[in-house]
Amino acid sequence: MSKISRRLFTGLAAASVGTLAFPSISLGAVPRVVVIGGGAGGATAARYIAKDSGGAVDVTLVEASKRYYTCFFSNIYLGGFRNYGSIGHNYYGLSVNQGVNVVHEWAVSVDPANRIVKLGSGNTLYYDKLVVSPGIDLKYDSINGYSAAVQDKMPHAWKSGTQVQLLRNQVMNMKQGGTFVMVPPPNPYRCPPGPYERVSMIAHQFKQSNPTAKIVILDPKPKFSKQGLFEAGWQKHYPGMIEWISSEDHGGIKNVNATKMEFVTDLDTFKADAACVVPAQKAGAIAMAAGVNDGDWCPIQPASMQSKADENIYVLGDASMAKSMPKSGFSANSQAKVAANHIRGALTGSKVFDARYSNTCWSLIAPDDDVKVGASYVAGAELIDVESKFISQADDSSETRAANYQESIDWYNGITADMFS
């Protein structure tokens, strides 16, 4: 069978059967890579290893969801600029175009000594190299009174999916002139400017449908990403609507009462008509099961994204401790390419090039007012070091801010094609 038709066949088989059982012993000389997690880190790694090895590496992607809704641009949906379907993607491109075996299951455990991943069905996957890219889990108990049981009352909406749709509904249905409370997470967390872009997008929605509404941000931090740019934007577009209260002023959130919709702080007790509460975060559970974590996150080798605990395991994206890179989809996508190059080199002898990373985060404050921050990075001995960086300027022209928004839309199309096509 020719390379293309074999790949097509493998892809179609994976696409149509959905779940495939694999023997736990490698059958041939073709090395095997298993990727856990089909987001910006995992999907990109699977795609690049399969694409660039041209069939010389067998790649299996384990991802529970058949349709993946990106976290990035979920705020743009919350602002009413996109419909929810437009941030959903499937895995057919990876299986049909790239020959990746896509298995829609949960990975439940990893046996690093025998290099085996166990799936929820009981099936096992053998690997030569394993990529762990599970994203985040939420530490619900980091906020007294908050729990998974009340997450539909006060959505976190920090892992995309139905929680984001729920939050949009609650924003749209909040009583006229009501108060919306936003509780951002403490550092480190997924998408540093995300909570503040979210506030901007909710304010944009309120400006049209609920113009006397108020937004109170009870921040567990004394400062935040792109603070000057956001605050200037809020002043310009939503004067009097948004109040940001620093941890130094409210003294910490002592308790959250989801029944009464109340937030108790040293400063005051805040009553909400709708709320978004984002707790502290940690690496996804499978990273802990694989034993590659040190506390909440997973230390990596800056030159390769290999786990410091196991050279056959690579940890990508939010789950990794990749300081100085922020936890973002862009970062995960960038790290995946370094890991893919390193993995191919180890398994097929292809040339391994020096690690180079980059990140850019766009944030929409109001229609055609978009700000960005970014940096390029190189591998240092201990950390991923910043090489150069930039941030939008306070005195940018309105044309520049509008061009940033168009750029972010093109980036969205670019990165999702880079992950899924």
Closest separation in Å from C-beta 408 to other proteins:
8
**Nearest-CA neighbor of 126 among 113, 144, 137, 141?**
113
Is the CB of 9 or the CB of 390 nearer to other proteins? 390
Nearer CB in complex with other proteins: 209/360: 360
**SS3 call for 199:** helix
Q: Tell me which residue has tokens 């002592």.
A: 254
Least distance from C-beta 54 to other proteins, angstroms? 12
Q: Which is nearer to other proteins, 239 or 399 (CB)?
A: 399
Task: Note whether 409 and 397 are within 8 A (CB).
Answer: no
Nearer to other proteins, 267 or 417 (CB): 417
Nearest residue (CB) to other proteins, 90 versus 123 = 90
Output 261 or 378, the one with its CB closest to other proteins.
Answer: 378
Strands 116-119, 107-111: pairing is antiparallel
Q: How many residues does the chain have?
A: 421
Exposed, middle or buried: residue 328 (CB in 10 Å: 0-12, 13-18, 19+)? buried
Q: How far is the CB of 406 from other proteins (least distance, A)?
A: 4
Query: CB of residue 241 vs other proteins: minimum separation in angstroms?
Result: 29
Residues making contact with other proteins (CB under 8 A): 48, 52, 330, 333-334, 337, 341, 351, 353, 356, 358, 360, 372, 374-376, 387-390, 392, 403, 406-407, 409-411, 413-415, 417-418, 421
Contact 342, 334 (CB under 8 A): no
The residue to which tokens 């997690």 are assigned: 37
Please identify, using beta-carbon distances, which residue of 189 and 420 lies nearer to other proteins.
420
Q: How far apart are CA 102 and CA 273, in angstroms?
A: 42
Q: How far is the CB of 364 from other proteins (least distance, A)?
A: 14
CB of 357 to other proteins, least distance (A): 9
Q: How far is the CB of 116 from other proteins (least distance, A)?
A: 30
User: How distant, in Å, are the alpha carbons of 3, 153, 384 from that of 353?
Assistant: 27, 49, 16
Contact partners, residue 303, CB within 8 Å, separation at least 6: 354, 355, 379
Residues 143 and 279 sit within 8 Å (Cβ to Cβ)? yes
CA separation for the pair 262, 269 (Å, rounded):
7
Q: Is 402 exposed, middle or buried (0-12, 13-18, 19+ CB in 10 A)?
A: middle
The DSSP output letter for 389 is E
At its nearest, how many Å lie between other proteins and the CB of residue 350?
A: 8
Q: How far apart are CA 69 and CA 209, in angstroms?
A: 26
CB of 409 to other proteins, least distance (A): 7
CB of 188 to other proteins, least distance (A): 22
- Identify the DSSP state of 352: -
Q: How far apart are CA 232 and CA 300, in angstroms?
A: 37
Q: Which is nearer to other proteins, 196 or 411 (CB)?
A: 411
Q: Which of 68, 411 has the CB closer to other proteins?
A: 411
Among residues 158 and 420, whose Cβ is nearest to other proteins? 420
